[in-house]
Chain A
Amino acid sequence: MIPEIGHFALILALCVALVQGILPIYGAAVGNSGLMAVAKPAARTQFLLVLTAFGCLAYAFADKDFSVLYVAATSNSQLPLHYRLAAIWGAHEGSLLLWTFILTLWMFAVTLFSGHLPETTRSRILGVMGLVSVGFLLFMLTVSNPFERLIPAAAEGRDLNPLLQDPGMVIHPPMLYMGYVGFSVAFAFAIAALLGGNLDAAWARWSRPWTTVAWCFLTVGIALGSGWAYYELGWGGWWFWDPVENASFMPWLAGTALVHSLAVTDKRGGFKVWTVLLAIMAFSLSLLGTFLVRSGVLTSVHAFATDPKRGLFILVFLAIVIGGSLALYAWRAPKVGLGGSFAMLSREGMLLANNVLLVAAMGSVLLGTLYPLFLDALDLGKISVGPPYFDSVFVPLMVPAIFLMGIGPLAQWKKASVPDLAKRLKWAFGVSLVSALTLPIVMGNWTPLLSLGLLLAIWIVTTSAIGLRERLAHVNGNSLVERLASVPRSYWGMLVAHCGIAVFIVGVTMVKGFETEKDVRMNVGETASIGDYTFRFDGTQDVVGPNYTAARGTFHVSRDGRETTVLYPEKRRYPVQNQIMTEAAIDPGLLRDLYVSLGEPIDDGAWSVRLYHKPFIDWIWGGCFIMALGGALAISDRRYRLAWRRQEPVVPVPTRTARRKVA
Chain B
Amino acid sequence: MKPRHKRFAFIGLGLLVLGVATVLILNAFQSNLVFFFTPTQVVSGEAPQGRSFRIGGMVEDGSLVRENDGLTVHFIVTDTAKRLPVTYKGILPDLFKEGKGAVAQGQLGVDGTFVASEVLAKHDENYMPPEVADALAKAKASGAQQSKSLVVPDGRKGSL
User: Interface of A with B (CB < 8 Å)?
Assistant: 161, 234, 299-300, 302-303, 341, 343-344, 353, 356-357, 360, 363-364, 367-368, 371, 381-386, 388-389, 392-393, 396-397, 519-521, 577-582, 597, 599-600, 602, 606, 608, 610
Contact = CB atoms under 8 A, between A and B. Distances in A.
B36 A389 contact: no
A393 B33 contact: no
A343 B54 CA distance: 50
A389 B33 CA distance: 8
Contacts of B141: none
A580 B94 contact: yes
A302 B71 CA distance: 36
B28 interface: yes
Interface of B: 3, 6, 9-10, 13-14, 17-18, 21, 24-25, 28-29, 31-36, 54, 66, 69-71, 89-92, 94-95, 105, 123-127, 130-131, 134
12 contacts: A161-B124, A234-B94, A344-B9, A344-B10, A382-B36, A392-B28, A393-B28, A519-B91, A521-B70, A579-B125, A580-B94, A600-B92
Nearest to B131: A382
Contacts of B90: 519
Given A602-B66, A608-B91, 20 more contacts: A303-B130, A356-B17, A357-B21, A364-B21, A371-B29, A382-B36, A382-B134, A384-B36, A385-B29, A385-B32, A388-B32, A389-B29, A389-B31, A393-B29, A519-B71, A520-B71, A580-B94, A600-B91, A606-B70, A608-B70
Contacts of B92: 599-600
Contacts of A303: 130
A381 B32 contact: no
B14 A577 contact: no
Given A360-B18, A577-B125, A599-B91, A381 B10 contact: no
A44 B128 CA distance: 45
Contact of B94 (A299, A519, A581): A581
A364 B131 CA distance: 25
Contacts of B123: 299
B6 A343 contact: yes
Given A389-B32, A521-B71, A578 B125 contact: yes
A610 B130 CA distance: 29
B71 to A, nearest CB: 5
A580 B25 contact: no
A356 B94 contact: no
A418 B66 CA distance: 65
A8 to B, nearest CB: 34
B31 to A, nearest CB: 8
